[in-house]
Amino acid sequence: MNVFQNLSDTLTLANRIIKHNIRSVDTLITVVAMPVMMLLGMVFIFGGAIQIAGVSEDEYINYILPGILLMTIATGSAYTSLRINLDKTTGMFERFKSMPIAKSSVLGGQVIASVIFMLVSIMVVLIIGFIAGFRSDATFADWLLVALLLTLFALALTWISVPFGLSAKGIEGASSFSYILLMLLFVSSAFVPVEGMPKIIRIFAENQPMTPIIQTIRNLLDSQSVGNDLWVSFGWMVLIILISYIFGLKVYRKV
């Protein structure tokens, strides 16, 4: 089976999942509406009560938007894991394996559909953010780097969701890992600076992957220097993708 046939099989299966997502009102509400409501709630309900040095009340949306974008991807990864688990428990994987299609296309379709859906959700959140008052001084090159970081983050969380979806015995367990991701987002610089946190929590927040990624995107959108945070962010995401990819394929072979 040639490369073009493998690609065709992968895109066909990805299209199947994308159509399912579009028809699923529950998925659209949770993956798109929840981050939007989180953004609006933080800006218009809590924004006036949160004081950050050098950040005015009107600029708070600029501060929190990077964290909300990562939250959008994190919630999307929960549904990726859930869909993979449903395909496994309903026997879809067995049917695909019996068909004359590339074996790699089964997971490949899941991954491509997931990343595309996450990026579309991010675009919706960005549009709502601009309507709500978000403004950026980023150059075209800055926006390209932001897009690359968000795509890599979406790819990393998608691959994390693969082994969880394949290993879980039910849909409840398949998406449970997303709570860990959301916890990491809250214990980071997503909503407040880490400098004001208790020492032990601050040390954890500074050395977990979410904080440098958020800080890099925040500085890029503000057209500021990113320093070492950019390379630390890339390092974390490449490491996560490699480990999750290897582990995910290992679990998939046993399904």
pLDDT single digits (tens) 72-95: 999 888 888 888 888 888 887 778
- Give phi and psi for 71, each to the nearest 5: -65, -35
For residue 1, is pLDDT > 60? no
Question: Which pLDDT value is given to residue 2?
Answer: 66
pLDDT tier, 24 (very low <50, low <70, confident <90, very high otherwise) = confident
Q: Is the pLDDT of residue 165 over 90?
A: no
**29 or 112: which leads in pLDDT:** 112
pLDDT score, position 151? 95
pTM listed for this prediction:
0.90
| Side chain identity at residue 130, one-letter code | F
Lowest mean pLDDT among 49-63, 103-117, 121-135, 197-211: 49-63
Range from 33-37, 171-175, 233-237 that averages highest in pLDDT:
233-237
Amino acid 179: pLDDT? 83
- Cα 29 from Cα 23, distance rounded (Å): 11
Element (H, E) at 246: helix 229-254
pLDDT score for 147: 95
Angle between helices 34-41 and 104-132 (to 10 degrees): 30
pLDDT category of residue 175 using cuts at 50, 70 and 90:
confident
Cβ(22)–Cβ(112) below 8 Å = no
**DSSP label at 102?**
-
State the amino acid at position 203 in one-letter form.
I
Mean pLDDT of the residues in the chain: 86
Percent of the chain with pLDDT strictly greater than 90: 38
95 vs 207 pLDDT, higher one: 207
Alpha helices in 50-139 (DSSP H): 60-89, 92-98, 104-132
